[in-house]
Amino acid sequence: MNEYSLLIILLLISTLWFYFGNKTALSLKKKQLKLNSLPHYYGIYVALYSFIPALFSYLLILVFDGILFSNLIIEFVPKEILNSPDFNKIIVLAQIDNAVRGIYFGEQPDWVTIASNQMIEWNYHSLILNFFCSISLALGIGYLGFKNINEEFRSRNSVEKIIISLLGLSSIIAILTTIGIVFSVIFESLRFFAIIPASEFLFGLIWNPQFEGAERAGSGQEGLATYGSVPLFVGTFLISLIALCVSVPIGLFSAVYLSEYANKKERSIFKPLLEILAGIPTVVYGFFAALTVAPLMRNGGSLIGLDVASESALAAGFVMGIMIIPFISSLSDDVINAVPQSLRDAGYGLGSTKNEVITNVIIPAALPGIIASIILAVSRAIGETMIVVMAAGLAANLSFNPLDAVTTVTAQIVTILVGDQEFESAKTLSAFALALTLIVITLILNFYALHVVKKYREQYE
Amino acid sequence: MVINSNINNVKTKTIGEIFSKDPKIICRHVDVFYGDKQAIKDVSIDISSREIISFIGPSGCGKSTFLRCLNRMNDTIDTCKVKGTILLDKDDIYDEKIDVVPLRAKIGMVFQKPNPFPKSIYENVAYGPRIHGLSSSKEELDFIVENSLKDSGLWQEVKDRLNSPGTGLSGGQQQRLCIARAIAVSPEIILMDEPCSALDPIATAKIEELINQLGKNYSIVIVTHSMQQAARISQRTAYFHLGELIEVGETKKIFTRPKDKQTEAYISGRIG
Ligand SMILES: Nc1ncnc2c1ncn2[C@@H]1O[C@H](COP(=O)(O)OP(=O)(O)O)[C@@H](O)[C@H]1O
Ligand SMILES: [Mg+2]
């Protein structure tokens, strides 16, 4: 007897209800009564009616008994441990939990044994309670549903309603998760802004996060931490811009080629090949950028007398551009294909050449979709991390020169959070402030994209 | 450039008068294939200057296909092959040396569903003159646009909103916009493929009136499903059946005294 067998019992009960519902409906039908819905809808209705409330109570008890018990069990921890300076609730709870599972590390203190026995007992009671509640709900509410069955009952519509609410619930869960993430980022950011003023963060020109009291690498002095995020956003902007300069023309042109010039066979070869680019993991792009492209650019640059940093915005942006080509080409290809043939006919009928039809008719008509695909690519570029960490460097230089090493917001978040962290420090919290700003920027971009698309759509439809 | 001296010496099964004294387009033994499937079989017919001729016949008989041969719109369909001779002013339009761009400027086309570009009303009409370089100044272009819109009877309705989108007009207005767009490049011939089939009766009446007007200056070939429409607007009518041209002649004669049994059956509503 455990939680899983209870779940199986609940499923069995609802299957039984399905059977009874179905059977009753069939027998009504046998009596020449005209049923409102197909018989199996009655079965499904009763089954769902019994299973869903039972499942809720099951999950509720399962989640909340753990929370309740871990708070109650603290009573069993001796005072001297509770008051000692290295008391850590998580470790104590883990100790008890291990004992409950029968895992022991060395000698067990008495209080752990007592607490774990108490815990086992509580768990047992809770399981019994869960069995009782869930099964009686499954039977009771199932019975109520079963009682509803008569020839006039519209089981099809009721099943529809139940399914709609399940679907709605799923989307609410997705939305709540997003909201949860955003709020946790906001709260941590507020803690950061309590230490560092927002104006310094938003307008400061030097990014040099330090742990409190840490010495500056190699300098032997205590460094001064500064959290001016401007260089990071400039770096992000610069690299994204380079990526767009690479990907927009190539992506758009290949989309035009694929949809307007390529024949079926060429299309069936080129399109999947392009889409493979989207499937390559970004780490691979990252070391391609760092180990192949960056040295190439450095050597090429020195040949023509340019001083290219060995980690440069140009290398990272270029490779990122290649990475987002398929986003632009694939989506643009779809929207170009969706331009109605009648518009092409109109163009050709007036004596346009193919090229004129593409530039004067098809691209303008597909523009909202193309813009949307570009903005999607921009969000992708802004959020991209791996390539930047590997190829652009971590030096927070404030520079608009593509040949310099720069860093981006995401790359900094990574370096801040990799390795040991002091959770309360401004350095760690700054990652949240950076993330928040990034989220806001991406949101603004997306709203703007929607706005642009809507405006064009009104004009074109 | 080849002018066949015996161009009017054709063997054809078509009943009626396929020849014209003042031919603008001369079609001889035209076959059209979609892949292996033959959609047009040995069609020979003349189309005169400044006449309105309608193509009628049951769905799928090849009216649109034949119409699209006349301005080489069939070139845009990969599988489509055209055989035979089509002369425009005595030049073979399927000659290798012929450029379809000026050809299609000479032969305008209006489609079944109104298909204005997703641009402003002005830009829709200005599109053709622009790509063919017909105007050297903004004033000249304005003039062409205004005249084309006047000729298509749309000017009064749209002159105050030339910059609003063409797609915002009503169906009938859109179709007249498409006609204005076609005549803006000063074609000599206008091909219309069921131009009223997506329109309500009032819009249809306006377009028919417009076609009658245009017939004074252009040759108009119109495909139509409506016999009444053919009777109302065209001087000559050609009846197609299963890819063949069955009968051609004066509209009046075709509708009152068809010589062919199939034509009679179609006109009296027995073939749909
Ligand atoms: N693009 C195409 N590919 C293959 N077959 C076609 C195509 N267009 C038309 N056809 C075929 O050619 C025949 C004539 O079609 P169409 O000219 O459109 O007839 P209509 O305009 O008289 O209704 C039909 O049988 C049709 O199925
Ligand atoms: Mg047709």
DSSP A272-309: HHHHHHHHS-HHHHHHHIIIIIHHHHHHHHHHTT----
pLDDT, tens digit, 9 for 90 and up, residues A141-153: 999 999 888 878 8
pLDDT in tens, B66-82: 999 999 999 889 899 99
Q: Is the pLDDT of residue A300 over 50?
A: yes
- Across the range B159-178, mean pLDDT stands at 93
Q: What is the pLDDT of residues A347-366, one digit of tens each?
A: 999 999 999 999 999 998 88
Average pLDDT, stretch A423-445?
Answer: 87
Report residue B272's pLDDT band, with 50, 70 and 90 as the boundaries.
low
Counting from 1 in the atom list of ligand 1, the atom nearest the Cα of B243 is 14
B221 three-class SS = strand
What is the DSSP track for A111-169? HHHHHHHHHHHHHHHHHHHHHHHHHHHHHHHHHHHHHH-STT--HHHHHHHHHHHHHHH
Selected for mutation to probe chain A from B70, B117, B167, B185 (highest A CB count within 10 Å) is B117
Check pocket membership of B224 for ligand 1, CB cut-off 6 A: no
What is the model's pLDDT at position B115? 94
Question: Is a pLDDT exceeding 70 seen at residue A427?
Answer: yes
**Is residue B1 very low, low, confident or very high in pLDDT (cuts 50, 70, 90)?**
very low
Residue A213 confidence (pLDDT)? 54
Poorest-pLDDT segment among A104-108, A136-140, B171-175, B264-268? A104-108
How much of chain A exceeds pLDDT 70, in percent?
Answer: 95
In the predicted model, what is the mean pLDDT of residues B155-164?
93
**Higher pLDDT residue, A260 or B6?**
A260
| Any atom of ligand 1 within 6 Å of the Cβ of B60 | yes
Report the pLDDT value the prediction gives residue A285, as an integer from 0 to 100: 92
Q: How many other C-beta atoms can be found within 10 angstroms of the C-beta atom of residue A404?
A: 21
Yes or no: say if A400 and A238 are a contact pair by the CB < 8 Å rule: yes
Domain B15-267, CATH among 3.40.50.300, 3.40.605.10, 3.20.20.105, 3.30.70.100: 3.40.50.300
The yes-or-no verdict on residue A221 having pLDDT over 90 is no
Q: What number does CATH give the domain A227-460?
A: 1.10.3720.10
Ligand 1 pocket, residue B77 CB under 6 Å = yes
DSSP at A260: I
Residue numbers in A near B128 (CB within 8 A): 350-351
Calculate mean pLDDT across residues B74-101.
91
Question: Is the pTM value of this prediction over 0.80?
Answer: no
* Residue of minimum CA distance from atom 21 in ligand 1: B64
Mean pLDDT of A198-226: 70
Neighbours of ion ligand 2 (CB under 5 A): B 64
The answer to whether B99 faces chain A, any CB pair under 8 Å, is no
Write out the residue limits of the CATH 1.10.3720.10 domain(s) in chain A. Answer: 227-460
| pLDDT of A444 | 87
Contact yes or no for A351 and B165 at CB 8 A: no
Residue B203 neighbours by CB under 8 Å, 6+ apart: B170, B171, B172, B173, B175, B196
Per-residue model confidence as pLDDT tens digits over A87-111: 777 888 888 888 888 887 777 788 8
Provide the pLDDT for residue B42.
Answer: 93
Min CA distance, B174 vs chain A (Å)? 12
Look-up of token digits 């780490």: A283
- Please check whether residue B116 touches A, CB under 8 A: yes
Tokens of B216: 């004074």
CA dist list (Å): A50 to A25, A130, A291, B53? 17, 15, 61, 73
Q: Is B238 in the pocket of ligand 1 (CB under 6 A)?
A: no
Domain boundaries, chain B: 15-267
Nearest C-alpha neighbor of B223 from the set B57, B46, B31 = B57
Residue A214 has pLDDT above 70, yes or no: no
Greater pLDDT, A2 or A323: A323
Contact flag B119-A364 (C-beta cutoff 8 Å): yes
Q: Mark out chain A residues that contact chain B at CB-CB < 8 A.
A: 263, 340, 342-353, 356, 360-361, 364-365, 459-461
The answer to whether residues B71 and A346 touch, using CB atoms and an 8 Å cutoff, is: no
B33 lines ligand 1 (CB under 6 A): no
Q: How confident is the model at residue A222 (pLDDT cuts 50, 70, 90)?
A: low
Q: Which residues on A lie below 8 Å from B187 (Cβ)?
A: none
Q: How far apart are CA A43 and CA A159, in angstroms?
A: 10
The ligand placed nearest to the CA atom of residue B113 is 2
Residue of the CA atom closest to atom 14 of ligand 1: B62
Task: Say whether B181 and A350 touch across the interface (CB within 8 A).
Answer: yes
Contact A215, A194 (CB under 8 A): no
Pocket probe mutation, ligand 1, options B30, B31, B32, B34, max atoms within 8 Å of Cβ: B34
Least confident of A241-250, A400-409, B175-184: A400-409
Residue of B nearest to A461 (CA): B167
Q: Measured between CB atoms, does B103 come within 8 Å of chain A?
A: yes
pLDDT, position A150 = 83
How far apart are alpha carbons B43 and A392 in whole angstroms? 69
Q: Looking at the predicted structure, is the pLDDT value of residue A216 above 60?
A: no
- Residue B87 bridge partners (DSSP): B26, B92
- Please give the distance of CA A107 from its chain centroid, rounded to a whole number: 44
SS3 B109: strand
Mean pLDDT, rounded, for B258-264: 88
Check residue A302 and give its pLDDT. Answer: 87
Higher pLDDT among residues B90 and B187, named by residue: B187
Of A6, A431, A418, A360, give the one whose Cα is nearest residue A185.
A431
Q: Check residue A223 and give its pLDDT.
A: 60
**Separation of alpha carbons B197 and A54, rounded Å:** 60
Q: What pLDDT digit, counting tens, does each position of A386-402 carry? A: 888 888 877 788 888 88
Residue A247 pLDDT > 90: yes
pLDDT for the residue numbered A111? 84
The 10s digit of each residue's pLDDT in A157-170 is: 888 999 999 999 99
Residues of A in contact with B103 (CB under 8 A): 351
Q: What is the pLDDT of residues A249-271, one digit of tens each?
A: 999 999 999 998 988 899 899 88
List the single residue in A350, A460, A461 with the smallest CB-CB distance to B127: A350
Give the pLDDT score at A97: 85
Q: How far is the CA of B67 from the centre of ligand 2 (A)?
A: 9
- Under the banding of pLDDT at 50, 70 and 90, the label for residue B270 is low
Tell whether the model's pLDDT for residue A137 goes beyond 90. Answer: yes
